[in-house]
C-alpha cells in the first residue's frame, strides 16, 4: 500500500513575475521551452508514486487547471487517489481558520480519505528533481517529527533573499530556521510529516488563532519537535521574479544544467501534438533550446523557443525567451526580451531590453 | 453497441519486406516517418480528423510494437465510450485456426466485429501510405452516387502507371475494369487502397469469397473484380494532394526528403488537420554553439553539435562536434559521435555511430539509399587512421 501522499501548496507564493503573472499564477508560468513551473514538482511526485496529490491554490488558477486537466500527463488520473485540484470554495459559516490553515481545515476529507500515513508538502518555485521516496525513507530512518529539505548554495543570488534558511547540526538535525540572507543552507519549501501529527497540529493551531502551518507549527516549535534536515544536491533554481526567471531560463543552455534537470526524461508535461521543428535553408541557430512545432527561417542565438514559434527569414532573436505560438516577422530584431504567448511582431521592428532587466511583452500583443 | 454510419477497418498486418531491416521486428505500419511519426499515424489521424470514431486495426505480422503503440487510442482521440479503436489480430475459432489469408480474408474473419455497429458503410484503409485525406468528404461522394463501392484514386504519370493498380473508368468515373500493374495502362488513375463499401454488399461478397478455395482473398485481385462481374456500381473518387507509398527503403527516404523544402507539399503544421502521434515526451532540442542546422526537421530530445543539412532527425538523436549529416534520415535515439560523415542514408533506431565513421561518402551508386543499423559494417575515414 502506498504510504505517501502529496500536497502542492501555492497559497503563499506571490505572483511576482509582472506581465507573466497578471493572468496566471506563478506555478502556471511556462518554462524551459515546453513546461510550466508546476510540471517539475508534479513530475517529482509522479516518480515517487504517491497515493494522491492535493493542489491548494487561491488565485488566478484558470490557466493552471487548463494545464493540469485530470492529471493524466503525470499518470495521476487514478480510480483511487491521483490528482485533486482544490480551489477555495468554502462555505462553512463556523469556520474561523486563516492563512493556509484554511485550505487544510476545509479539505480535511481529502487527508482523511487517503490511506497514506505520511504527507510530503512542496511549493512550485524551487525547481528541482528530488527523489521523494528517498526523502521518505530518510524521514523514517531519522525517526523525526518533520524533515525539511535544503540545499547548500555556494553563490547566493538575489532571488534567494526571500527564501528561508535552516541551520543543521552534525547529526543532520535542524537547530534553527530563519531568513538571514547570507546563510547558505536554503530551505527548498519541501517537508514531510506524519499525517496524524499534521492533522493534530492543524486543529490545535486553528483553535489558537494561528494562520500558517510552516511558520506557526514548524518554525515556532523548532526546539520542541525533532526536525531532521535532508540535503538535496541536484539541479536547483528559484523562480520568484522576472530577473530570476530570465536568468534561469538562459542558464538551461548550459549543458550540465540541461542534463541534470532532464536526465532520463524525468519531467512530464501536458502533451501537445506539434510536428517536429522545421529549419529552413536560411536558418541559423546557435546555443538555443527549441521546442517542437517551430518554423525557423531566421537567426536564433542564446535563446529559448517554446512550441510553435515562427521566426521568419531575416529575423534575429538574441538572448531571449519566446513563448508558445509567437510570430516574429521578416527582419525583426529581438534582444534581451521575454515574449509571452501569441505575440505577433511585425516586420522590421526592433525590441531590445537590458541584459539584467529583460523587456517583457504581454500575452497576445500585436506590435 | 451503438449504430454507426461508417466503421473503418485498417489493414496493418503487412510485413513490408522491401523495407528490409526496418521491419525486422515490427510491422510496416509501425515504421517511423517524418521525425516523430509512425506510418499508421496518418490513417488514424485522418480517421480522427474526419470524425470517424470507430476503427478496427487488423494486425498479424510482428504486432507487439504496433499493439502497444496504439494502446487505447487516446493519442488519436479514439478512446471512446461508444466505438474507439480496436486491435484485431487473427484468433482461434470453433472450426480451427489460421492466419489472415489476405486483405479481404482479414475483414471476412471479423464480420462479427463490424456487424456489432450495424454500419451502412465500411471504410477499408491500409497502413502503408503517407497522406492527409478527409474520408468524410469521400463518404459524401459515395453516398451522392449511391455507389456500392467507391475507390479513392490518384492521377499518376503514365510512365509510372504500370507500378500501380489502375482503374479504368467511364467519363462519369464509374469503374468498368481493375487492372493490377498493367503492362500497357489504359488510364492513369491509380488505386490508393482506400475503399468505401456498402456494408451489406461487401458482406455478401466476403461470404462468397471466404468459401472460395481458389481465391487469394485480396480486395484488388478478388473482391473488386467479383463486384464488377456482378454488375455492382463502383466509382473512382479522385484525390488531389500529397500521397506516397512508402513500401521501399528508397521511397521511405524520398517521402522524408519531401518534408524538407521551405514550402513542403505535405504540411505537418496545419492546426486544422493535425497528425497525431504518441509523444515520447522529451525535453526541448538543443542546438549548440558552432552547430549548423538548415533545411532540416528536428524533433525534441535531440542535441546537435555538428552540421545537419537537408535531413530528418527523430527524437533523442545526438550529433557530435565536427560531424556532418546530409540528405539522411536519423531514427530515434541514434548516437552519432564526433567527426562522423553521413550522406544519403537511413540510420535505424538506437544505432551508435562512433567517431570518424563515414557512411555513404564517395560511393559509386548514390541512387541507392543506405540502411544502417548496429549490425552494419562501417568504415572510418582516412583522417581517423592518420591520427
| Segment A27-75, tens digit of pLDDT | 999 999 999 999 999 999 999 999 999 999 988 888 999 999 999 999 9
Write down the mean pLDDT value for chain A. 94
Q: Which of A278, A325, A330 to mutate to test the interface with B (most CBs of B within 10 A)?
A: A278
Query: Residue A287: its chain B contacts at CB < 8 A?
Result: 287-289
Across residues A352-358, what is the average pLDDT?
91
**Separation of alpha carbons B268 and B263, rounded Å:** 11
Residue A219 to residues A145, B51, B356, Cα–Cα distance (Å): 13, 58, 59
Judged by CB atoms closer than 8 Å, whether chains meet at B290 and A286 is answered as: yes
Distance from CA of B163 to the nearest CA of A (A): 31
Using CB atoms, pick whichever of B283, B285, B291 lies closest to residue A267.
Answer: B283
DSSP strand pairing (A295-296 vs A277-279): parallel
Residue B365's pLDDT is what? 80
Q: Which of A275, A296, A310 to mutate to test the interface with B (most CBs of B within 10 A)?
A: A275
Integer-rounded Cα Rg, in Å, for chain A is 22
Distance from CA of A250 to the nearest CA of B (A): 12
Q: Is A290 on the interface with B (CB under 8 A)?
A: yes
Q: Which of B71, B269, B284 to mutate to test the interface with A (most CBs of A within 10 A)?
A: B284
Query: Residue B281: its chain A contacts at CB < 8 A?
Result: 265, 268-269, 271
Using CB atoms, pick whichever of A268, A274, A286 lies closest to residue B281.
Answer: A268
**Separation of alpha carbons A260 and A53, rounded Å:** 25
Using CB atoms, pick whichever of B264, B269, B290 lies closest to residue A293.
Answer: B269
Q: Which of B265, B268, B287 to mutate to test the interface with A (most CBs of A within 10 A)?
A: B287
DSSP strand pairing (A337-339 vs A359-361): parallel
Q: Which of A279, A314, A319 to mutate to test the interface with B (most CBs of B within 10 A)?
A: A279
Indicate if ipTM > 0.90.
yes
Length of chain A: 367
Residue B315 is labelled as binding a ligand: no
Judged by CB atoms closer than 8 Å, whether chains meet at A285 and B299 is answered as: no
**Separation of alpha carbons A126 and A41, rounded Å:** 9
Q: Is A253 on the interface with B (CB under 8 A)?
A: yes
Residue B100 is labelled as binding a ligand: yes
Q: Which of A273, A281, A287, A310 to mutate to test the interface with B (most CBs of B within 10 A)?
A: A273
Residue/partner pairs of A179-186 with CB below 8 Å, 24 or more apart: A181/A156, A182/A156, A184/A152, A184/A153, A184/A154, A184/A156, A185/A150, A185/A151, A185/A152, A185/A153, A185/A229, A186/A150, A186/A151, A186/A152, A186/A153, A186/A160, A186/A236, A186/A238
Tens digit of each residue's pLDDT (9 = 90 or more) over A172-196: 999 999 999 999 999 999 999 999 9
Question: B75, B77, B81: which is closest to B52 by C-alpha?
Answer: B77
Using CB atoms, pick whichever of A261, A285, A287 lies closest to residue B293.
Answer: A285
Judged by CB atoms closer than 8 Å, whether chains meet at B298 and A277 is answered as: yes
Tens digit of each residue's pLDDT (9 = 90 or more) over A309-352: 999 999 999 999 999 999 999 999 999 999 999 999 999 999 99
* pLDDT of chain B, 387 residues: tens digit per residue: 789 999 999 999 988 889 999 999 999 999 999 999 999 999 999 999 999 999 999 999 999 999 999 999 999 999 999 999 999 999 888 887 889 999 999 999 999 999 999 999 999 999 999 999 999 999 999 999 999 999 999 999 999 899 899 999 999 999 999 998 899 999 999 999 999 999 999 999 999 999 888 999 999 999 999 999 999 999 999 999 999 999 899 999 999 999 999 999 999 999 999 999 999 999 999 999 999 999 999 999 999 999 999 999 999 999 999 999 999 999 999 999 999 999 999 999 999 999 999 999 888 888 889 999 988 877 777 666 555
Distance from CA of B313 to the nearest CA of A (A): 9
Judged by CB atoms closer than 8 Å, whether chains meet at A275 and B301 is answered as: no
Distance from CA of B197 to the nearest CA of A (A): 32
Judged by CB atoms closer than 8 Å, whether chains meet at A268 and B288 is answered as: no
Query: Residue A253: its chain B contacts at CB < 8 A?
Result: 286
Helix ranges (DSSP H) in chain B: 41-49, 64-70, 103-108, 111-115, 135-144, 199-211, 224-229, 249-257, 382-386
Judged by CB atoms closer than 8 Å, whether chains meet at B35 and A276 is answered as: yes
Residue B180 is labelled as binding a ligand: yes
Residue B387's pLDDT is what? 52
**Separation of alpha carbons B62 and A266, rounded Å:** 30
Judged by CB atoms closer than 8 Å, whether chains meet at A275 and B269 is answered as: yes
Across residues A68-85, what is the average pLDDT?
93
Residue A1 predicted with pLDDT over 70 = no
Tens digit of each residue's pLDDT (9 = 90 or more) over A244-282: 999 999 999 999 999 999 988 889 999 989 999 999 999
Distance from CA of A139 to the nearest CA of B (A): 32
B274 to chain A: closest CA residue: A273
Distance from CA of A286 to the nearest CA of B (A): 5
Query: Residue B285: its chain A contacts at CB < 8 A?
Result: 277, 289-291
Query: Residue A273: its chain B contacts at CB < 8 A?
Result: 75, 274-277, 279
B148 Cβ contact partners less than 8 Å away, ≥ 6 residues apart: B197, B198, B201, B227, B232, B233, B234
Residue B62 is labelled as binding a ligand: no
Distance from CA of A302 to the nearest CA of B (A): 9
A221 Cβ contact partners less than 8 Å away, ≥ 6 residues apart: none
What phi and psi, each to the nearest 5 degrees, are found at residue B29?
-65, -15
Residue A247's pLDDT is what? 95
Q: Which residues pair with B368 in a beta bridge?
A: none
Q: Is A286 on the interface with B (CB under 8 A)?
A: yes
Distance from CA of B164 to the nearest CA of A (A): 30
Residue A93's pLDDT is what? 84
**Separation of alpha carbons B178 and B172, rounded Å:** 16
Across residues A288-297, what is the average pLDDT?
97
Query: Residue B268: its chain A contacts at CB < 8 A?
Result: 275-276
Reading the block at residue A81, the C-alpha cell is 487517489
pLDDT band at A17 (very low <50, low <70, confident <90, very high): confident
Q: Are B85 and B180 in contact (CB under 8 A)?
A: no
Q: Which residues pair with B287 in a beta bridge?
A: A288, B304
Question: B324, B320, B321, B317: which is closest to B341 by C-alpha?
Answer: B324
Using CB atoms, pick whichever of B34, B281, B295 lies closest to residue A279.
Answer: B295
Q: Are B41 and B88 in contact (CB under 8 A)?
A: no
**Separation of alpha carbons A108 and A130, rounded Å:** 27
Query: Helix crossing, A38-47 with A132-142: angle to 10°?
Result: 60
Using CB atoms, pick whichever of B34, B294, B300 lies closest to residue A292.
Answer: B300
Distance from CA of B188 to the nearest CA of A (A): 33
B259 to chain A: closest CA residue: A278
Amino acid at each position: 500500500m502506498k504510504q505517501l501522499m502529496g500536497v502542492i501548496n501555492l497559497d503563499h507564493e506571490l505572483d511576482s513575475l509582472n506581465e507573466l503573472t497578471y493572468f496566471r499564477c506563478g506555478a502556471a508560468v511556462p518554462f524551459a521551452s515546453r513546461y510550466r513551473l508546476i510540471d517539475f514538482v508534479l513530475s517529482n511526485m509522479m516518480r515517487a508514486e504517491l497515493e494522491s496529490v492535493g493542489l491548494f491554490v487561491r488565485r488566478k488558477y484558470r490557466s493552471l487547471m487548463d494545464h493540469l486537466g485530470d492529471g493524466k500527463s503525470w499518470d495521476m488520473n487514478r480510480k483511487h487517489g491521483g490528482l485533486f485540484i482544490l480551489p477555495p470554495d468554502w462555505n462553512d459559516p463556523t469556520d474561523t481558520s486563516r492563512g493556509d490553515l484554511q485550505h487544510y481545515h476545509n479539505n480535511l476529507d481529502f487527508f482523511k480519505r487517503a490511506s497514506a500515513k505520511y504527507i510530503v508538502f512542496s511549493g512550485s518555485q524551487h525547481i528541482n528533481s528530488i527523489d521523494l521516496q528517498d526523502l521518505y525513507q530518510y524521514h523514517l530512518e531519522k525517526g523525526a517529527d518533520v524533515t525539511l529539505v535544503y540545499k547548500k548554495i555556494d553563490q547566493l543570488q538575489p532571488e534567494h533573499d526571500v527564501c528561508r534558511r535552516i541551520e543543521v547540526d552534525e547529526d543532520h538535525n535542524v537547530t534553527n530556521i530563519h531568513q538571514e540572507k547570507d546563510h547558505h543552507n536554503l530551505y527548498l519549501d519541501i517537508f514531510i510529516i506524519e499525517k496524524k501529527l499534521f492533522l493534530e497540529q492543524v486543529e490545535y493551531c486553528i483553535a489558537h488563532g494561528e494562520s500558517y502551518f510552516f511558520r506557526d507549527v514548524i518554525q515556532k516549535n523548532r526546539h520542541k519537535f525533532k526536525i531532521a534536515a535532508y540535503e538535496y544536491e541536484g539541479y536547483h533554481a528559484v523562480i520568484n521574479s522576472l530577473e530570476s526567471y530570465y536568468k534561469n531560463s538562459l542558464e538551461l543552455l548550459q549543458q550540465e544544467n540541461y542534463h541534470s534537470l532532464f536526465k532520463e526524461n524525468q519531467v512530464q508535461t501536458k502533451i501537445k501534438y506539434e510536428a517536429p521543428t522545421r529549419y529552413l535553408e536560411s536558418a541559423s541557430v546557435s546555443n538555443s533550446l527549441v521546442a517542437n512545432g517551430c518554423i525557423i527561417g531566421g537567426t536564433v542565438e542564446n535563446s529559448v523557443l517554446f512550441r510553435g514559434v515562427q521566426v521568419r527569414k531575416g529575423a534575429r532573436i538574441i538572448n531571449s525567451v519566446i513563448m508558445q505560438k509567437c510570430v516574429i516577422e521578416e527582419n525583426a530584431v529581438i534582444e534581451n526580451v521575454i515574449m509571452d504567448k501569441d505575440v505577433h511582431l511585425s516586420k522590421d521592428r526592433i525590441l531590445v531590453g537590458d541584459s539584467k532587466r529583460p523587456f517583457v511583452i504581454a500575452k497576445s500583443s500585436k506590435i | 453497441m451503438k449504430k454507426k454510419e461508417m466503421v473503418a477497418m485498417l489493414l496493418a498486418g503487412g510485413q513490408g519486406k522491401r523495407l528490409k531491416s526496418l521491419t525486422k521486428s515490427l510491422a510496416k505500419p509501425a515504421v517511423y516517418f517524418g521525425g516523430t511519426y509512425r506510418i499508421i499515424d496518418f490513417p488514424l489521424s485522418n480517421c480522427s480528423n474526419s470524425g470517424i470514431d470507430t476503427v478496427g486495426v487488423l494486425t498479424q505480422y510482428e504486432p507487439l510494437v504496433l499493439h502497444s503503440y496504439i494502446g487505447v487510442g487516446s493519442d488519436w482521440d479514439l478512446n471512446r465510450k461508444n466505438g474507439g479503436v480496436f486491435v484485431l489480430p487473427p484468433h482461434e475459432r470453433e472450426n480451427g485456426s489460421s492466419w489472415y489469408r489476405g486483405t479481404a480474408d482479414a475483414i471476412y474473419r471479423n464480420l462479427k466485429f463490424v456487424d456489432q455497429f450495424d454500419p451502412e458503410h465500411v471504410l477499408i484503409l491500409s497502413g502503408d501510405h503517407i497522406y492527409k485525406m478527409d474520408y468524410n468528404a469521400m463518404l459524401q461522394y459515395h453516398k451522392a452516387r449511391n455507389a456500392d463501392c467507391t475507390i479513392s484514386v490518384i492521377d499518376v504519370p503514365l510512365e509510372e502507371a504500370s507500378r500501380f493498380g489502375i482503374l479504368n473508368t467511364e467519363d462519369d468515373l464509374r469503374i468498368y475494369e481493375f487492372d493490377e500493374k498493367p503492362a500497357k495502362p489504359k488510364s492513369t488513375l491509380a488505386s490508393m487502397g482506400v475503399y468505401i463499401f456498402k456494408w451489406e454488399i461487401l458482406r455478401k461478397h466476403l461470404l462468397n469469397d471466404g468459401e472460395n478455395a481458389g481465391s487469394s482473398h485480396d480486395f484488388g485481385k478478388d473482391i473488386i473484380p467479383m463486384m464488377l462481374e456482378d454488375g455492382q456500381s463502383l466509382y473512382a473518387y479522385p484525390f488531389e494532394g500529397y500521397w506516397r507509398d512508402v513500401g521501399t527503403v528508397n521511397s521511405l527516404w524520398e517521402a522524408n526528403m519531401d518534408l524538407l523544402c521551405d514550402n513542403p507539399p505535405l504540411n505537418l503544421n496545419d492546426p486544422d488537420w493535425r497528425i497525431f502521434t504518441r509523444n515520447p515526451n522529451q525535453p526541448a532540442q538543443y542546438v549548440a554553439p558552432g552547430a549548423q542546422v538548415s533545411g532540416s526537421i528536428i524533433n525534441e530530445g535531440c542535441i546537435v553539435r555538428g552540421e545537419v543539412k537537408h535531413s530528418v532527425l527523430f527524437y533523442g538523436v545526438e550529433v557530435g562536434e565536427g560531424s556532418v549529416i546530409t540528405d539522411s534520415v536519423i531514427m530515434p535515439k541514434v548516437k552519432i559521435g564526433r567527426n562522423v560523415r553521413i550522406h544519403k542514408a537511413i540510420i535505424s533506431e538506437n544505432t551508435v555511430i562512433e567517431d570518424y565513421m563515414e557512411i555513404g561518402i564517395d560511393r559509386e551508386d548514390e541512387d541507392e539509399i543506405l540502411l544502417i543499423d548496429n549490425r552494419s559494417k562501417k568504415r572510418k575515414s582516412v583522417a581517423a587512421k592518420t591520427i
